[in-house]
Structure 1
Amino acid sequence: MQPDIEIYVLSCPTDTIVSWLSQTFTLLEQSQPTPLCTKVTLEFNGHTIPVTILEQASGKRFTSIWFDSSHTPWETDILCAKDAYSSLNCEVRCNYQGWEEEGDQDPDQWWKINSHGEGPFVWN
């Protein structure tokens, strides 16, 4: 089980992301500490899940969505990315291998889902 989940969405407004999250989770709190950062607190199956939505996280067009919890409905970043793509209809990227304490991970190896399909690629 991953300790957290993080995905990146292309050209997707924060309001749209929060609406998507509200379909799966109970939205408990929302704040905007900076113009590019929105923090939400969600509830899922009795667990509180802090989420940070950071615009322009990778270049000007990608927004990071970071779930700081192991209690999401997804076991991996890729499963979260698939769900996000089907709801948000925008390109979604995530780490290909997920999180490991040790191992031979390639930090540039990513998974991409868009209208052309999905698969691994190098994002650097």
Structure 2
Amino acid sequence: MQDLEIYVRDLEAGAVSAWLENHVDELALDDGDVSSVVKGSALYEGVRLRVSLYPGAFGKRFTSLVIEGEKLPWNADLDCARSAWRAMDTEIRCSPGEWQEGQPVEEEKWWRLDHRGEQQVVWN
């Protein structure tokens, strides 16, 4: 199982489904209310994906978006973040590499995509 994870600042209701419907088939995601956890599914090249939204990440203003499946629409978190940023026009952040749960985060830099461009920043 592979996954993509990005963080969306000030996520608006319906924004994720409006973006994803252009990249996947049979999207079943009710993101009309993004104040609590939302789980859904979709198909990509005939393979089932799990789509999850977790609000309140990193100081409450960000929502974690996780897409899991055997095949994914993007090859890396940064590719996914770029696509989301173009569609949602709000700040998107993602990990720069292959961090795994349980590994230390020592001043880790994150990609930040917003109107200023793409930059690696310390999340604070």
Category of TM-score, reference length = shorter chain: 0.7 to 0.9
Counterpart CA distance in 1 for 2:100 and 2:66 is 17
Root-mean-square deviation over aligned CA pairs: 2.5
Structure 2 segments unaligned to the other structure (5+ residues): none
Q: Residues of 2 paired with 1:14 and 1:73: CA distance?
A: 22
- Paired with 2:35 and 2:122, the residues of 1 have a C-alpha distance of 30
Whole-angstrom distance in 2 between the partners of 1:52 and 1:107: 27
* CA deviation after TM superposition for structure 1 residue 73, in Å: 1.6
In the alignment, is the contact (CA less than 8 A) between 2:17 and 2:27 conserved in 1? Answer: no
TM-score, normalised on structure 2? 0.83
TM-score by length of 1: 0.83
Corresponding position of 2:72: 72
Q: Percent identity?
A: 30
Structure 1: which amino acid aligns with 2:113? I
Task: State the distance in 2 between where 1:19 and 1:52 align.
Answer: 15
In the alignment, structure 1 segments of 5+ residues that lack a partner are: none
Q: How many residues align?
A: 121
Structure with the larger helix share: 1
Alpha-carbon separation, structure 2, partners of 1:47 and 1:78: 22
Give 1:107 deviation, angstroms: 6.7
